[in-house]
């Protein structure tokens, strides 16, 4: 009989972000987890802790004082993988419960660092496997990435990947096993398709992580109006007098699925007074470190050459928005816009009414190199997947799958590599069964 692996150290981890929220989930696992939970949680309708995959409602108690801290739900995880306490959200309750676990001897796992994330990932994969999920490793990738998804599009794209990416990987592996005929039927070579996945990974990861976009331009061009229009809220003060914005204003907005931290800045102009210059200097590091600058110009105003130079001097990826297109646009302004874009996109807007925003949103996405999350197709989306695919590509004998290249590849190596790859990415045994006979 197979020996049961040694239980890990008693550990507590917060699975939800710490902050204001409706619910928070705390997981406890390891050798002493049941004892910790028994001291912390008093089920309302039963004497014992619930059996695997069952919930119990009850009172969460601070064992140090005997005080009731919260009412919550306790879920017993299958296969001895621990417990999950669903608490009311908020910083105070959650910190008290986590501290209580630590007081009972549990170590706290920090999901913010890499080692912590790896351990949580292994836990999640084990849990998905215990629950009979076909692709537990991929399901764990989705679960961990989901925590930082900021837009509905990001959530939907990630949720679809267990099937989309899983199917793509299995199709590739199956075609490879079918020899040259199979590869041909699958419409391409393994190396080519892996390289395509690897190439696009950055675009998916960028789209999921979100970006910071600085809105810059001369005073009174409509920068604050644009921030408000993109964010769908009146966050920044708008007025007809130039030099309104002083302290920069930040706001998160969903730009066609891409989470953007927008930064509205003070107008940039040559010969500004002390206060304006100070406002510009304050925002300067934020503007320079942003992933993208959206330069807003008033279409009806010519840009002084000094101002154009200052804007051009900011460098980096740029999209130019010619604003106030409800009025005639000056030819010289359109020329300045084209020069400032430097090959990037120029979009025409009426920020006051929102006209043209439907062109600006995808222009921002393209300029930062983020893929379109509305495009529901297979993509690699985390470091683990990307590193493994890069490793597999590097391990492929030169020219594998290309005409004549097959001779240089040892089939055993290729099969081994592929099997390990599929196992690692999906966490399933799909190739094992085919090789058993």
CA distance 27 to 403: 53
Provide the 10 A C-beta neighbour count for residue 434: 12
Find out whether 123 and 27 touch, Cβ atoms under 8 Å.
yes
Q: Which does 435 bind (CB under 5 to 8 A by kind): ligand GTP, Mg ion, none?
A: none
Task: Compute the least distance from the CB of residue 361 to ligand GTP, in Å.
Answer: 16
- Please count the CA atoms within 13 angstroms of the CA of 217 that sit on its side-chain side: 34
Least distance from ligand GTP to the Cβ atom of residue 225, Å: 3
SS3 label, residue 87? strand
The C-alpha atoms of residue 112 and residue 173 are separated, in whole angstroms, by: 34
Q: Residue 258 CB, nearest distance to ligand GTP (Å)?
A: 23
| Min CB(248)–Mg ion separation in Å | 10
Distances (CA, A) of 69 to 21, 100, 218: 17, 10, 54
> Residue 97 or 280: which CB sits closer to ligand GTP?
280
DSSP character for 53? Answer: T
83-88 and 23-29 beta bridge pairing? antiparallel
Comparing CB distances to Mg ion, the nearer of 265 and 371 is 265
Contact 194, 389 (CB under 8 A): yes
Minimum CB distance to ligand GTP smaller for 249 or for 382:
249
Query: The dihedral of CA 326, 327, 329, 333: what is its sign?
Result: negative
Q: Which does 16 bind (CB under 5 to 8 A by kind): Mg ion, ligand GTP, none?
A: none
State the minimum distance, in angstroms, from the CB of residue 250 to ligand GTP: 14
CB of 235 to ligand GTP, least distance (A): 11
- Which of Mg ion, ligand GTP, none has residue 350 at its interface (CB below 5 to 8 Å by kind)? ligand GTP
Q: Specify the residue, 148 or 353, whose C-beta has the smaller distance to ligand GTP.
A: 353
Q: Which residue's CB is nearer to ligand GTP, number 68 or number 237?
A: 237
Query: Where along the sequence are the contacts to Mg ion (CB under 5 A)?
Result: 223-224, 244-245
Q: At closest approach, how far in Å is the CB of 288 from Mg ion?
A: 19
Helix residue ranges, H only, 41-113: 91-103
**Residues near ligand GTP (CB under 6 A):** 219-225, 238-240, 242-245, 266-267, 323-324, 326-327, 350-352
- Helical axes 411-426 vs 152-177, angle rounded to 10°: 160
When the beta carbons of 259 and 266 are compared against ligand GTP, the nearer one is 266
Residue 57 binds which one of ligand GTP, Mg ion, none, with CB within 5 to 8 A depending on kind?
Answer: none
The listed partner (ligand GTP, Mg ion, none) that binds 240, CB under 5 to 8 Å by sort, is ligand GTP
Helix segments in 211-314, DSSP class H: 223-231, 274-289, 305-312
From 260, 307, 330, 249, select the one nearest 283 (Cα to Cα): 249
Q: Which residue is nearest to ligand GTP (CB)?
A: 267
Complex with Mg ion: residue 177 or 244, whichever CB lies closer: 244
């Amino acid at each position: 009989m197979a020996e049961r692996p040694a239980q890990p150290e008693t550990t507590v981890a917060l699975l939800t972000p710490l902050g204001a929220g409706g619910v928070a989930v705390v997981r406890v696992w390891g050798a002493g987890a049941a004892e910790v939970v028994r001291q912390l949680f008093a089920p309302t309708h039963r004497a014992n802790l619930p059996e695997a995959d069952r919930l119990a409602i009850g009172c969460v108690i601070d064992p140090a004082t005997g005080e009731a801290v919260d009412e919550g739900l306790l879920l017993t995880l299958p296969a001895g993988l621990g417990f999950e306490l669903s608490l009311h959200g908020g910083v105070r309750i959650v910190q008290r419960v986590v501290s209580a676990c630590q007081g009972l001897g549990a170590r706290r796992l920090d999901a913010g660092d890499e080692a912590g994330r790896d351990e949580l990932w292994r836990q999640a994969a084990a849990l998905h496997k215990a629950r009979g999920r076909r692709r537990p490793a991929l399901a764990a990738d989705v679960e961990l990435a989901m925590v930082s998804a900021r837009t509905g599009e990001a959530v939907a794209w990630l949720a679809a990947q267990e099937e989309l990416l899983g199917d793509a990987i299995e199709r590739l592996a199956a075609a490879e096993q079918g020899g040259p005929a199979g590869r041909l039927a699958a419409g391409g070579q393994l190396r080519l398709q892996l390289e395509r996945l690897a190439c696009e990974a950055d675009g998916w990861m960028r789209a999921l992580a979100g970006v910071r976009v600085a809105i810059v331009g001369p005073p009174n061009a409509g920068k604050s109006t644009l921030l408000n229009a993109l964010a769908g809220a009146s966050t920044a003060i708008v007025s007809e007098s130039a030099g309104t914005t002083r302290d920069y204003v930040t706001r998160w907005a969903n730009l066609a699925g891409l989470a953007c931290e927008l930064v509205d800045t003070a107008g940039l102009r040559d010969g500004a007074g002390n206060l304006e210059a100070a406002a510009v200097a304050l925002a300067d590091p934020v503007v320079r470190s942003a992933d993208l600058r959206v330069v807003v110009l008033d279409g009806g105003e010519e840009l002084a050459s000094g101002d154009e130079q200052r804007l051009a001097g900011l460098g980096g990826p740029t999209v130019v928005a010619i604003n106030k297109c409800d009025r005639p646009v000056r030819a010289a302004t359109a020329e300045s816009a084209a020069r400032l874009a430097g090959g990037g996109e120029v979009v025409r807007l009426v920020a006051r009414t929102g006209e043209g925003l439907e062109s600006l949103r995808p222009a921002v996405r393209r300029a930062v190199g983020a893929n379109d999350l509305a495009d529901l197709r297979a993509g690699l989306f985390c470091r683990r997947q990307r590193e493994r695919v890069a490793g597999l590509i590097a391990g492929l004998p030169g020219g594998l799958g290309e005409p004549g290249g097959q001779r240089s590849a040892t089939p055993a190596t290729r099969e081994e590599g592929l099997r390990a790859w599929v196992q690692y990415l999906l966490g399933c045994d799909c190739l094992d069964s085919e090789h058993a006979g």
